[in-house]
Structure 1
Amino acid sequence: MSKRRSSIDLGSMQAEEGMSGTGRDEAIYRNLYAAIVENHLEPGTKLPEDTLAEAFGVSRTSIRKVLQRLAYERLVDIRLNRGATVAQPTVKEARDIFAARRIVECGVLAQVVAKATPARLDELRDIVRREHEAEARGDRREAIYLSGEFHVALARVSENETLSDYLAGLVSRSSLVIATYGAPMAGSCRHSEHDDVLELIAEGDAEGARNWMERHLKDIERTVVLVDEEPSVLDLRKVLDEVARRHRGER
């Protein structure tokens, strides 16, 4: 989920006449990726090519390539004669995603413990600190995003890029599960939980950390209420503008 910090605003994209087609497509991808995984665009939201092309100031061909990339990552559904929508995981897919996360995250922890250094642990503690701050101010989207970022950053300590990249995709899809089925505070971790696993890792307790992770992920899954809900109607351009302004302020 690290792609989020790279997002750029719509105005900059339209103003950069010298930006290559590849660079422009990447910027559009980052903005749509952020809007989806941060739940600004709810599962089931329609993504009309003409609306997106106008919003980003590009051709529908460019938008189509970005949507196909997001569809490959299973964040967008594209259906013949129905266009693209933000993916809406089924109950089975939701359960499969969490089952896969348990296999990956529990399995990688021995390597994480072996390679953890004080500096890496401090970086993880900084994510946890920002997560707690988001929870304290009631920013559910930010808290859930940072929770996912923590899990991916933790796996990256193992230096196994294949597993870390796979997990990043699972975490992104988890955000869609939470948005589709979650209760108001579903998917956010209880205060201090991530602090607990960092203590176990610092102590070199690989088995304790693995057991913690299994319980933790099962607890998160139990907070998700797997009941279908109809997505609300929203102004796509307005949402994208809001996301762009937010990320412009972070740079």
Structure 2
Amino acid sequence: MTKTEPIKDAAQERDEIIYQHLHAAICDSRLLPGTRLPEDTLAETFGASRTIIRKVLQRLAYEGLIEIRPNRGAQIAEPSVPEARDIFATRRILECGALAEMAGKVTTADLEALKAINAAEDEAQLKGDRAAAIRLSGEFHIHLVGLAGNAVLSELVARLIARSSLIIATYGSPISVTCRHSEHEQIIDLIARGAFAEAADWMGEHLTTIERSLRWEQETPDLQAVLREFIGGSTAKP
């Protein structure tokens, strides 16, 4: 009796497709933090049952990308400031540690792949395509960590980077992007020279720079103050 490949269940395949679409929409900031995700709307959009939609939402909730609240349904997660700081602290630990594990493993092809992602990210920034820049920045970091050859580490970092996209969408300025092109170039250069300890230090500074660029204080504008700017400080009378 010959061994055969397991047949993938059609329902599981549909689950995965819907999951990938929603995951991409969240991580590319097409769906912003706080956006509600009604099951009936999603079911109609994807042509799927609410049971399938519910399974996908539970998976995204487990990954911290959405929140499911009793009697209110699902919505894109809105990370708190302490949670955001913890995520960046964890990324520093894991991504700097990954660089220390790369000695003797990085090939010329690996470096070229990093350069290609970096170039695409730079082009997205120049075009003002913030969503693409965020996605490509995350792709750069995920690909870089993958060079350490640790699948568990890669999975953990990929999840943290997805949640970082929500943090940037929540606390970043409308014109800011996740990473500076030159900082990624510097990391590639250090790896190419075999300076992995220096690259780890640089990665720590790089992630700290991103964190410091975020606006933690989200102030609600004063309605009257804003409108007075448009009417020159005068008070309208009936």
On whether the aligned pair clears a TM of 0.5, the verdict is yes
Structure 1 position 190, deviation (Å) = 1.7
- Check the 8 A contact 2:27/2:162 in 1, yes or no: yes
Q: 1:11: which partner in 2? A: none
Q: Which residue of 50, 57, 60 corresponds with 1:60?
A: 50
As a proportion of its length, which structure holds more helix?
Answer: 1
Deviation track 1:190-246 (CA, whole Å, cap 9, x = no partner) reads 23211111110010001110110011000000111113479xxxxxxxxxxxxxxxx
- Check the 8 A contact 1:76/1:87 in 2, yes or no: yes
Structure 1 runs of 4+ aligned residues shifted over 6 Å read: none
State how far apart, in whole Å, the 2-side matches of 1:225 and 1:105 are.
23
Q: 2:37: which partner in 1? A: 47
Structure 1 position 112, deviation (Å) = 2.2
Q: 1:105: which partner in 2? A: 95
SS of 2:181's partner is: coil
* Structure-2 change in CA distance of 1:158 and 1:139 (3 Å): same
Q: Which residue of 32, 57, 71 corresponds with 1:81?
A: 71
Q: 2:136: which partner in 1? A: 146
- Percent identical among aligned pairs is 55
State how far apart, in whole Å, the 2-side matches of 1:106 and 1:206 are.
9
Q: Which residue of 43, 47, 59 corresponds with 1:69?
A: 59
State how far apart, in whole Å, the 2-side matches of 1:225 and 1:147 are.
19
Structure 1 position 93, deviation (Å) = 0.5
Matching of residue 191 in structure 1 with residue 189 in structure 2: no
SS of 2:152's partner is: helix
Q: 1:236: which partner in 2? A: none
Q: 2:232: which partner in 1? A: none
Task: Give the letter aligned to residue 176 of structure 2.
Answer: A
Q: Which residue of 148, 157, 180 corresponds with 1:158?
A: 148
SS of 2:75's partner is: strand
Task: Give the letter aligned to residue 173 of structure 2.
Answer: A
In the TM superposition, 1:1-251 aligns within 5 A as 20-228=10-218
TM-score (norm 2): 0.86
State how far apart, in whole Å, the 1-side matches of 2:15 and 2:154 are.
24
Q: Which has the higher contact order (CA 8 A, sep 6+)?
A: 1
Deviation track 1:17-73 (CA, whole Å, cap 9, x = no partner) reads xx8111111111010000001110000100000010011111111100000000000
* Structure-2 change in CA distance of 1:125 and 1:94 (3 Å): same
State how far apart, in whole Å, the 2-side matches of 1:56 and 1:92 are.
35
Unaligned runs of 5+ in 2: 1-8, 221-238
- Check the 8 A contact 1:186/1:220 in 2, yes or no: no
